[in-house]
């Protein structure tokens, strides 16, 4: 009896810890100084991150710094965090497309900022800041797609891995160039890449700083589909049509689907099962479920 109570207590504590980690990966206990790095990032301005929340429940997040191939300035990193908070609070949202202005995805961190914060303290804080933001992005209850046009380089390649799916346009490429910068990914891109393509392929992509074209990405399972158009607006429309196959239906159900998959992706199996049970409880007997029972559809 005592042992079983003890085991339950341990399990609950572990789940609470995981729950808390879901909010933020790093805090002061990890030596993370959020206010300090935010102040620093403010000094490197330019570009913007724009969010439009469409009536169909699909959000469009635009990386907007085309002069620098949509490289992330400091203020864009800060704005990304703000947009992710906005998306966390968007209860009608079902999907998200991230794409870059000017027919290209993103060329990673703005090298001017990187040079200025190349000391260890700033580098570690920036790394933790971006990991926190991209982890929250990955865990949004929205089905997310990175629409890769042109180039997704360095941190840009890492950002694509924080999405559930990647769609590429003809002639585009994803490239983890970190080795050539004397670096490894620091925005969580390596950990996520391993889970997407497996450790062997991830090792090849990172150690070879290999250029992955749409065909290669399809082969590796890094991309879902090569779109037919490389033009900005047409490609975005194609991506919206592709995503809407999966976002059709009530927000409560689509969001629950993403949540059970997130749990399965990230948690040990027992915790994932318990989370699935809790999420199941939010849809069982809910309006969509009762309506379906009334209609008694046949799934032929």
Ligand X SMILES: CC[C@@H](C(=O)O)C(=O)SCCNC(=O)CCNC(=O)[C@H](O)C(C)(C)COP(=O)(O)OP(=O)(O)OC[C@H]1O[C@@H](n2cnc3c(N)ncnc32)[C@H](O)[C@@H]1OP(=O)(O)O
Q: What is the contact surface with ligand X in residues (CB under 6 A)?
A: 68-69, 71, 107-112, 114, 151, 153-155, 158, 177-178, 181, 183, 185-187
Using the minimum distance from each CB to ligand X, give the nearer residue, 46 or 216.
46
Are 106 and 155 a contacting pair, CB within 8 Å?
Answer: yes
CB of 31 to ligand X, least distance (A): 18
CA pair distance 168, 151, nearest whole angstrom: 10
CA pair distance 72, 84, nearest whole angstrom: 15
Using the minimum distance from each CB to ligand X, give the nearer residue, 42 or 180.
180
Position with the least CB separation from ligand X: 108
CB of 48 to ligand X, least distance (A): 16
CB of 273 to ligand X, least distance (A): 35
Using the minimum distance from each CB to ligand X, give the nearer residue, 58 or 190.
190
Query: Percentage helix, strand, coil, to 5, in the chain?
Result: 55, 15, 30
Using the minimum distance from each CB to ligand X, give the nearer residue, 141 or 150.
150
Distances (CA, A) of 23 to 46, 96, 134, 137, 153: 28, 20, 12, 11, 27
CB of 98 to ligand X, least distance (A): 15
CB of 216 to ligand X, least distance (A): 17
Distances (CA, A) of 136 to 25, 87, 164, 271: 9, 10, 13, 19
Reading the block at residue 189, the tokens are 């891109």
CB of 106 to ligand X, least distance (A): 8
Using the minimum distance from each CB to ligand X, give the nearer residue, 111 or 290.
111
Using the minimum distance from each CB to ligand X, give the nearer residue, 123 or 250.
123
Tokens 């099962």 belong to 273
HSE-CB for 54 with a 13 A CA cutoff = 14
């Amino acid at each position: 009896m005592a042992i079983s109570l003890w085991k339950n207590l341990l399990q609950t504590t572990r789940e609470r810890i995981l729950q808390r980690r879901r909010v933020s990966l790093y805090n002061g206990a990890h030596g993370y100084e959020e206010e300090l790095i935010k102040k620093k990032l403010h000094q490197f301005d330019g570009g913007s991150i724009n969010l439009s929340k469409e009536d169909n429940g699909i959000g469009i997040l635009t990386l907007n710094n085309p002069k620098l191939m949509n490289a992330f300035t400091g203020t864009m990193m800060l704005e990304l965090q703000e947009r992710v908070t906005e998306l966390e609070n968007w209860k009608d949202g079902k999907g998200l497309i991230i794409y870059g202005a000017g027919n290209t995805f993103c060329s990673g961190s703005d090298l001017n900022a990187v040079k200025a914060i190349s000391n260890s303290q700033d580098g570690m804080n920036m790394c933790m800041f971006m990991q926190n933001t991209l982890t929250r992005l990955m865990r949004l209850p929205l089905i997310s797609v990175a629409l890769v046009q042109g180039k997704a380089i360095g941190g840009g390649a890492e950002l694509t891995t924080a999405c559930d799916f990647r769609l590429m346009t003809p002639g585009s490429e994803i490239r983890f160039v970190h080795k050539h910068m004397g670096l490894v990914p620091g925005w969580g891109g390596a950990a996520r890449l391993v889970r997407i393509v497996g450790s062997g392929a991830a090792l090849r992509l990172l150690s070879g700083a290999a250029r992955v074209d749409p065909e290669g990405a399809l082969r590796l399972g890094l991309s879902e589909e090569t779109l037919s158009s490389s033009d900005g607006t047409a490609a975005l429309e194609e991506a919206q049509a592709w995503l809407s196959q999966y976002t059709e239906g009530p927000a409560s159900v689509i969001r629950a689907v993403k949540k059970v998959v997130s749990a399965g992706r990230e948690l040990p199996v027992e915790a994932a099962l318990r989370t699935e049970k809790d999420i199941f409880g939010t849809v069982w007997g809910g309006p969509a479920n009762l309506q379906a029972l009334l209609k008694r559809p046949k799934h032929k």
